Structure 1
């Protein structure tokens, strides 16, 4: 048996590939590519394996969409799709696991070291309780970890597509603008790269300013440089909503094991995030505030938790 397995982490914008050493549990040959409209996953995988001059017999594909028993998998936030059976046959695999990308992220957490995490207040984790994981990128991913017979088990779901409650008149006005655009407004419409743009454009409309097309990076950079008041307000709302949603996850399963934030957005401005209303919103839970106040929050700074977690998931499935 080859000591290497293929692991992937495929989101709405980027696809990451790596080799996972089944002997040492280490990643190598990490490659990231921008997904284009006409990309075919099988071709991307073949090109990657050819570039590494390696043959694999096992693979774990972590991908940003719901996973069911159907053969064909379709991504939520881009046009990429693939057939499990086609991949197995074309790559001559003996084992293929296909999991949600945040299932993969969750499986990485017990493997992360302290220097791959930034703590955002709270007490010490109690690992006899569940853990919550969420993260904003192209979309909003959510998962939980629970311990069963001294082994961590991931609970996958699509929590990013629930609704986010508004708690003030100003927030109601932002929601009203998004409702005009989307009808039903999911949390992902706020907590994602496009969500930052949605918040900003809603604030432009509320303040009677012309709507402009802008990227999330421009909004974030102007907020961090304090050169645009509405950009600063946008990023502050984003952090507040991240806190409110994270606190909701913490209450749902009483996640005293901790709450972990992944995704590509928050690690770009951790110091701003720490100083923002995030933690206040996280703890603002009425009669349950005392409970949530104890729960630690960590931002994951590991470069590729999805790849690592995909490898861990595959390794566990062999036991």
Structure 2
């Protein structure tokens, strides 16, 4: 049985893997920088060439699934946080595939959530997950992903939306100051404006008047060399808690609320010791409701690949 291609494509990196149908793990994983390739087709071919050079049987590959950081509505896909634009049908023909499934990356990530094991997640705060209930997901990275899964009989259905672009709602004078600064620059201010790599930089600029990169801000916050950078990260975590609470309320996510994306795992103790959980629960009369919902940090390295593999299984089954 031939291998199949899986990918998790963000605004910065594209993570590729090969998998034997029915296998739990992956035959090969490689991360490529999106900026290094003019088109998504170029990136796919570069990965397959490298995998072939490593001795993997990539000839005759017929099934592929791509999770991409963008809405997927119809045949044409244009990435929000990168320049790649493509036709799904044309890419399928270009690569000689029988099946090409293209889905929202956070919908794919959400599909992995019901199957994560203890060592693939870290509890943040209290709460008890309710089996068979909706599960929420939020994840800051290049952008802000928002999704979830809802039960449907024995299956789970992933929700593909763009909740990261919903309007940001401040809950303190400090956050009003940030919002005022961003209003003047952008007009509409979404949660993603704050909860992303660029968001860290914008928060720091609004609070400290300094232009630093996101890695510089987190680095100085972690090593204790900058009080201002520490305050920026604390603000970021607090805002993330408020937005995560909004998502949990909207979905009724009593099955749990998960944090993914590339930023939070790098924050370490700054996140686990932050006001995230306090702000998650801080919803007035609904605070007791949210206190019962557990929050988890995803520690599995490639969860979206597992999710998109499950979605490809379902897609192939429906074609039979």
Gaps of 5+ in 2: 53-57
TM-score normalised by L of structure 1: 0.94
Matches of 2:27 and 2:306 in 1, distance apart?
10
Q: For each residue in 1:95-125, what CA deviation from the matched residue of structure 2 results, as whole angstroms up to 9, or x when unmatched?
A: 1110000011011112221101000012221
- For the residue of structure 1 that corresponds to 2:82, the secondary structure is coil
Query: Are the equivalent residues in 2 in contact too, given 1:25–1:311 (CA < 8 A)?
Result: no
- For the residue of structure 2 that corresponds to 1:318, the secondary structure is helix
C-alpha displacement of 1:38: 5.3
Name which of structure 1's ranges 302-311 and 290-299 shifts more when overlaid on structure 2: 302-311
Number of the residue aligned with 1:10: 9
1:105 and 2:109 correspond: yes
Number of the residue aligned with 2:202: 198
Number of the residue aligned with 2:238: 240
For 1:1-319, what aligned pairs fall within 5 Å after superposition?
Answer: 1-2=1-2, 4-36=3-35, 39-53=38-52, 54-55=58-59, 56-69=61-74, 71-205=75-209, 211-212=210-211, 214-319=212-317
Matches of 1:135 and 1:93 in 2, distance apart?
31
- For the residue of structure 1 that corresponds to 2:22, the secondary structure is coil
Q: For each residue in 1:174-217, what CA deviation from the matched residue of structure 2 results, as whole angstroms up to 9, or x when unmatched?
A: 11011111111110000000000000000124xxxxx43x2101
Query: Are the equivalent residues in 1 in contact too, given 2:37–2:43 (CA < 8 A)?
Result: no
Query: Are the equivalent residues in 2 in contact too, given 1:37–1:79 (CA < 8 A)?
Result: no
- For the residue of structure 2 that corresponds to 1:30, the secondary structure is strand
Number of the residue aligned with 1:208: none
Query: Are the equivalent residues in 1 in contact too, given 2:256–2:293 (CA < 8 A)?
Result: yes
TM-score normalised by L of structure 2: 0.94
C-alpha displacement of 1:87: 1.4
Matches of 2:76 and 2:245 in 1, distance apart?
35
C-alpha displacement of 1:264: 0.5
- For the residue of structure 1 that corresponds to 2:268, the secondary structure is helix
Matches of 1:173 and 1:79 in 2, distance apart?
32
Query: Are the equivalent residues in 2 in contact too, given 1:5–1:22 (CA < 8 A)?
Result: yes
Matches of 2:115 and 2:64 in 1, distance apart?
20
How many residues are aligned here? 311
